[in-house]
Structure 1
Amino acid sequence: MIQTMDLIWALLFFGYAASLQVEITPMQGEISVGESKFFLCEVVGDAKDIDWYAPNGEKLLPNRQDIIVNRNDESSSTLTIYNADVDNAGVYKCVAKNADKESQGTVNVKIFQKITFKNAPSPQEFNEGDDADIICDVVSSPPASIIWKHKGSKIQVTKDVRFKIMGNNHLQIRGIKKTDEGAYTCEARVMARGEIDLKIIKVIVNVLPSIRTRQSEVNATADINQSVMLACDADGFPEPTVTWARDIIVLESDDKYSLNDDGSELIIKDVKKVDEGDYTCIARNKAGGKEEEVSLNVFVQPRITYLDNQTASELEEQITLTCEASGDPTPTITWSFGRRFFTEGEQSLDGNVMVRSHARVSSLTLKYVQFTDAGQYLCTARNSIGQDQQTMYLEVRYAPKIQGSVTVYTWERNAANISCEVLAHPGASVVWFRDGQQLPSANTTNVKIYNTPAISYLEVTPDSQNDFGSYNCTATNLIGTESKEFLLIQADVPSAPAIERVEPFSSTVVVEFEEPDASGGVAILKYRAEWRMKGQDWTSREYDAEDGLSMITIVGLKPETFYGVKMSAINGKGEGESSTPLTFKTEPVREPSPPKLEGKLQTMGNALKVNWIKQDDGGSPIKHYLIRYRAKHVSDWKPEIRLPHGSEYVVLSSLDWNTEYEVYVVAENQQGKSPPGTISFRTAAEPTTIPDTMTSGSGLGTGAIVGILIVVFVLLLVGVDVTCYFLNKCGFLMCIAVNFCGKSGPGAKNKDIEAGKAAFIKDESKEPIVEVRTEDRTPNHEGGGPTEPNETTPLTDPDGKIMTEDKSIAPEMETEVKKAPTEVKTVPNEAAQTNGNESKA
């Protein structure tokens, strides 16, 4: 029984092993057109062949391009469909065979059309105002429904009649505007399979150009090599191209015309009258074109055609100056002289000046001509587009006019210069007199005369009281003669200054004073301050009398001590009387006064050097200085810096760029700390590049340095030799002059130079007086020529040498020179000059 059951089970096992089973994965297939997909056929059992069959029953071979069959191993095979088409749909069959046994499996492949946008270009362009048809062509199976969206919202055609969805699913916008521009969404949906897809279409609205001319009319001037610009600004979308035309001819850049990059500016070079007319600005883009005209008006600038110099004599009855000019429009003509302006029909209050014009001619008439009328007259021709100017010179001949300071102060044995400034045309000769006697004379050895083209200087060195008094200057030319008396006055010492206020501190005192009522005739040079404690000798100090000096500070005093103080003034003559002494008491010992701060930003830009000036120390020596600083936008101070009492500055470095800082400096003595001296500053902006502050050396080699030293040594030897030649008549240069040139050297001039030094000698007990009186000039003489010396300046020749009497001249020649009148030649046709302010030095 057991053997029978075993036999049955054995037969069943071998029967199952001999049968075949086929399974296809996936069991069903849906493929979108154009997609690819594979199917796996697996066989249970021993299969010799595994084949695939198409829906039409045709066996699929491995060499096909669209459908490929691959035998993976003994029990499986793969069917792959590439780029599926609707023709590939159907039931595919996988058949497994082994001898007379066969098994098969099937799979139903369905092909469908996904949503596809066949024609939906982006961007799509339209002209503003047109009826726009936005294209969106969609194919699918089954057909898709289309929804249009704009700015994220569905377009409601019932709310805006301008929008309409056409039968072909296109979107129509009637009279499209620039505001309609943007992104539109074409959304397709297949409800059967829940498929959705969309296409974003950019809509561009082109706008017809508009033109705005910057100037509808432009004026230009001809024949002056002037260029003129015609300009128009064009707007539109897309940006229009701009061209220019004249008389239907398009203008291009060449020797006559120039266009900028966008064509909006047309430059016409070297404008001529023939360039006048209308020019057309044309703007074009995809939406169309627009034109505007600009008119060019060409005028002729004024030009003066006649203007001549004139000559007159003073007090002549009248003289007329004439100016002619051309231009289009006809120019108006005006005259000016210095700061005075004369216009058509104008007449001065005294009737001496009158202007008349007719057409293109203007005349300026002067009655009773004065020497001040001499000079340059400016004729100006002006019209609406420009002007022309030319000058003419009126020469006035007149008798001498003497100017200069009437009074000159000096003292015995101190040289002074009396200035006789002569205005004359033609030039005048000048003679000096003293008590009717012409200078210099045989009896006067302390008088010298020095002449420039317009000024004669009389240098007087008083020997006694008799040398003070009146001196006469007489000038003569072809027109006439004029004389003027000058006074040489004995100078005196100044009066006492008045002490106005005394402000004592612990160790210093500030004294305010007023200058003396009388300066003695010459400038005050110094002030002397004297102070002392009761019963002790006076201590003094001199202060230079700078401009506006009215306050001095005396230092080094003892606290809580009575002092007396007085002041005196010093000029070149000497020291005047002292003021009445004033008594004051210094303050007790206290904390110091706050230091006075000065800041200087360093070269690197983020460092500051802070200097302080010590004020009153409160009667106790300064122990040290305390420095604190911080950026103003923060509350915390940097660590305090302590410096010894002798310090005068601190450098704060590595500061933040472009930041405002404040600095406190406190002085401390035995009594305590002073209030802080404060200063604020801002650092520089951070540079983009940091300059190289390190230097690599001088750049000169040893040979170059040695060469420079040799050259300097040779030049020094030459200088010494030249000096020996002129002073001691010796040296290599002297040897050449005597042996080869036959010259004896400059010995004769040495005496003159020594004599000239006398002008520099001063009273050993007094400072020299220097007084300068400046005078304004009238318009007939120029201010050129040598620098005017003052009353105590040694007289020199125009070439800079000191003038002396030449001792080598024969006595008869010397006598002839003294008797000859001195001539001062004025420059013809120069502007006249008048007296003015006085100043003392």
Structure 2
Amino acid sequence: MAESMLILRMCSIMLVLGFSEAKMEIITSKPDVLLGENAMLLCKAGGEGDISWQKDGEDAEDYQVEKVDETSSKLFIRNAKMEDAGQYKCFCEFDSGHRDDKLYTIFVYERPSFGETPAYHEFLEGQDGLITCMVTGKPAVEVNWERDHEKLHSEAGRIRRLKDNSLQINNITRKDHGTYTCEAKIKDRPIFEKLNISISVNVPPTAKIHEEVKIATAGPETNVSLSCLVEGVPQPNIIWTVPDSSDESRYKYNSDKSELIISSVVRSDHGEYICTAKNKISESSAMIMLDVSEHPVAVLSQEKMEVEPGQSLSVSCNVSGHPMPALQWVRKTNNDHLLTVDAGGGRVRMEDGYVLVIDNVTPSDGGLYSCMAISPAGNASTDFSLQTWPGKASQVSGTPGPTSVHFTLGASLVDGGSPITHFTLQWKTGRENNWQEKVIQSTDPLVITDLNPYTTYSVRFAPKTHLGQGGFSEELTVRTQGIPGEPDSPVLVASEGKVEGNMFSIPLMQLDNGDSPIIHYTVRYRLNKVDEDWREKDLPSNSTVINLHDLQYKSDYHMEVLAVNSYGSSSSAKLNFNVPQPVAKMNKGGMGKGAVACIVIVIFLVLLIAVDATCCYTNHCGMLMFLAVKLFGQKVPGMKTVEEGDGTSNG
């Protein structure tokens, strides 16, 4: 029993060892065999035994099988055909009596082919595009479309795949331009081919411009850029058509000729510039009008004239430019204002549209006149200088000092159009006939110096230029002031002077003491005769009246009064007066004024009666005749009444 169990255990071990040695495998270089190629299957039994082959359940042909050794066998597929595809099984009858097999499937395929499928298509933008993919291959081939490595799944809409695997793009745009990939794959196998198909979308050219009219002003520094925006596929070529009068040697283009640069623009560059964009589809043009204007220029017949006052002048101005500028004459004033010269009949006017005329030139006409050329292209001006004698100063005032007079101008001087270089200052006292004068620079203070204090002067001045001297200002009467610190002269009012007998008195007033109180007044007087000696006396500082005694009757006197303080004496206040012959006085016992009046009345009545009596008896008239008629009714012979008249009647 124990031996039987041992034998059974050994058999089991041997059986297990036999199964492990009988492990089988089929080895081949590739499971997928291309049609027409050769393939080999190697069967390794893993132990010795009898090996055989079957295909799809039937024994393989002997010429296909080749025994390698007791443990392996080969099966050859030569010039593979589609029917060679199938399941191949390797059987092994092991020497141990064990049987085993191994199954392996072989795929035979014909590689996908795209035949004469076009790899390039051109379409016109807006058309419907059809992209074909003609695929052959075995077994069944699946077709997929890709763009930019992404599959196209659209079955409807603008881009869709048709049943014959073609790709249709409706209303194609330039965005559809690019590479499309047609992938042909053997169904359920990792066998595929791809064909890249290029799609080009052609677009007719368009030429556009930003400005239909380009405005430029001719000049050496002026450069004009004409731009043409061009689109189209393929990229259009650009051709420029320019005016015949333009000089193309001054042209520059950018790389694609979409920009034309004209340097140093001149008037002859004016005209139409046509940009034409052309590709194989069509051509398109756009036109730019270059409007070249010329900056206006003004030219004078003469730029400066020196004219004496009272004369006349004329200056012509010619202007040019494009468009033709308008001409205008203006007067430039000192404060930079412009006064337009009208084309009227005035003394200063413009004639014939370009000639400046000034009649009877005055100092105020001097200065700058500008001829202005005005146009849309800009403005230009040229100045004409009129120079004449300076004018007489007006609104002049004078401020006196102790020894000087300072002129102040209330209005600007009229220089006549050229700078004032000098001033002629003149002065004289009331007793002088001739003027004293001094010429100073125009930059010097307008001051007359070296005058005497407390003196009345007539002063004036005149401006002077390189052409000549203008008129003198109106005479000013000024009185110089006293020396600083000294008192002003006393004030004597002649109308307040009184003569009583041989005595003369007059009030004394002091307006300004100076910088120190009055110490005393010095009064001196004499007969107003040649070589008469002065009589002099001092009065206290508080004196208000001057009294002179013991004067000669029927005599003219001259008196001078000076005020004195610690700084000095003032100028003298002068006065002339007369002491008349005294009138004899009546005695107290004589007739009074009433008696004299009565005597005069009596004398008057006597004379009146005498005259009336003479009239009565001589000419039958007068008061006595009137009374006689009224009282006595007596009619004097020869007398005619009013009622009787002269015998005439108005009737």
* TM-score, normalised via structure 2 length: 0.50
Aligned to 1:213: 209
Aligned to 2:331: 337
C-alpha separation in 1, matches of 2:201 and 2:481: 101
Shift of 1:236: 4.3
C-alpha separation in 2, matches of 1:146 and 1:77: 40
C-alpha separation in 2, matches of 1:156 and 1:274: 63
Q: Deviations over 1:475-521 (max 9, x none)?
A: 27656541353868989xxxxxxxxxxxxxxxxxxxxxxxxxxxxxx
Shift of 1:371: 1.8
Counterparts of residues 418-817 of structure 1 (less than 5 Å): 418=407, 429-433=423-427, 435=429, 451-453=440-442, 456-458=445-447, 466=453, 472-475=459-462, 478=468, 481-483=471-473, 484-485=475-476
> Could you tell me which of 107, 110, 114 is aligned with 2:107?
110
Aligned to 2:348: 353
Aligned to 2:314: 320
> Could you tell me which of 353, 366, 375 is aligned with 2:367?
375
Shift of 1:202: 9.1
C-alpha separation in 2, matches of 1:217 and 1:191: 67
Residues 296, 319 of structure 2: 8 Å contact kept: yes
Shift of 1:210: 1.9
Residues 131, 175 of structure 1: 8 Å contact kept: yes
> Could you tell me which of 125, 129, 147 is aligned with 1:128?
125
C-alpha separation in 1, matches of 2:71 and 2:259: 84
C-alpha separation in 1, matches of 2:155 and 2:287: 46
Q: In the alignment, residue 293 of structure 1 is paired with which amino acid?
A: M
C-alpha separation in 1, matches of 2:241 and 2:135: 49
Shift of 1:323: 0.8
Change in CA separation of 1:309 and 1:163 when aligned onto 2, cut-off 3 Å: closer
Shift of 1:390: 1.8
Change in CA separation of 1:488 and 1:289 when aligned onto 2, cut-off 3 Å: farther
Which of structures 1 and 2 has the larger relative contact order (alpha carbons within 8 angstroms, sep 6+)? 1
Aligned to 1:257: 251
C-alpha separation in 1, matches of 2:54 and 2:431: 154
- Greater shift, 173-182 or 196-205, is seen at 196-205
Aligned to 1:756: none
- 1:269 is aligned to 2:258: no
C-alpha separation in 2, matches of 1:487 and 1:264: 85
Counterpart secondary structure, 1:482: coil
Q: Deviations over 1:123-168 (max 9, x none)?
A: 97633133422344555644456688999996566xx7x8786674
C-alpha separation in 2, matches of 1:121 and 1:325: 73
C-alpha separation in 2, matches of 1:455 and 1:402: 19
How many residue pairs were aligned? 453
Aligned to 1:656: none
Aligned to 1:280: 274
Residues 407, 486 of structure 1: 8 Å contact kept: no
C-alpha separation in 2, matches of 1:287 and 1:42: 70
Q: In the alignment, residue 352 of structure 1 is paired with which amino acid?
A: R
Counterpart secondary structure, 1:347: coil
Change in CA separation of 1:180 and 1:100 when aligned onto 2, cut-off 3 Å: closer
Q: Deviations over 1:761-803 (max 9, x none)?
A: xxxxxxxxxxxxxxxxxxxxxxxxxxxxxxxxxxxxxxxxxxx
Counterparts of residues 195-234 of structure 1 (less than 5 Å): 205-220=201-216, 224=220, 226-234=222-230
Q: Deviations over 1:611-644 (max 9, x none)?
A: xxxxxxxxxxxxxxxxxxxxxxxxxxxxxxxxxx
Q: Deviations over 1:66-125 (max 9, x none)?
A: xxx9x9xx999999x9xx997985666769899999987452322457989899999976
Q: Deviations over 1:371-410 (max 9, x none)?
A: 22212221123445455432221112245436766447x8
Residues 422, 441 of structure 2: 8 Å contact kept: no
Could you list the runs of 5+ residues in structure 1 that have no partner in the other structure?
A: 62-68, 443-447, 492-572, 575-841
C-alpha separation in 2, matches of 1:416 and 1:198: 116
Residues 129, 176 of structure 1: 8 Å contact kept: yes
C-alpha separation in 2, matches of 1:266 and 1:488: 83
Shift of 1:427: 5.7
Change in CA separation of 1:18 and 1:346 when aligned onto 2, cut-off 3 Å: same
Counterpart secondary structure, 1:372: helix
Shift of 1:266: 0.8
Counterpart secondary structure, 1:215: coil
C-alpha separation in 1, matches of 2:120 and 2:406: 97
Residues 422, 455 of structure 1: 8 Å contact kept: no
Residues 236, 277 of structure 2: 8 Å contact kept: yes
Residues 307, 386 of structure 2: 8 Å contact kept: no
C-alpha separation in 1, matches of 2:371 and 2:357: 13
Change in CA separation of 1:341 and 1:258 when aligned onto 2, cut-off 3 Å: farther
C-alpha separation in 2, matches of 1:462 and 1:32: 141
C-alpha separation in 1, matches of 2:408 and 2:66: 135
Counterparts of residues 13-92 of structure 1 (less than 5 Å): 21-24=22-25, 31=32, 43-45=45-47, 89=85
C-alpha separation in 2, matches of 1:103 and 1:152: 47
C-alpha separation in 2, matches of 1:178 and 1:468: 108
Residues 401, 424 of structure 1: 8 Å contact kept: no
Counterpart secondary structure, 1:379: strand
Q: In the alignment, residue 446 of structure 2 is paired with which amino acid?
A: Y
Residues 314, 398 of structure 1: 8 Å contact kept: no
C-alpha separation in 2, matches of 1:117 and 1:472: 123
- 1:391 is aligned to 2:383: yes
Residues 243, 271 of structure 2: 8 Å contact kept: no
Shift of 1:171: 2.4
C-alpha separation in 1, matches of 2:73 and 2:310: 136
C-alpha separation in 1, matches of 2:165 and 2:317: 86
* TM-score, normalised via structure 1 length: 0.41
C-alpha separation in 1, matches of 2:233 and 2:319: 53
Q: In the alignment, residue 167 of structure 2 is paired with which amino acid?
A: L
Change in CA separation of 1:451 and 1:479 when aligned onto 2, cut-off 3 Å: closer
Counterpart secondary structure, 1:430: strand
C-alpha separation in 2, matches of 1:406 and 1:247: 75
Residues 32, 106 of structure 2: 8 Å contact kept: yes
Change in CA separation of 1:135 and 1:433 when aligned onto 2, cut-off 3 Å: farther
Change in CA separation of 1:314 and 1:33 when aligned onto 2, cut-off 3 Å: farther
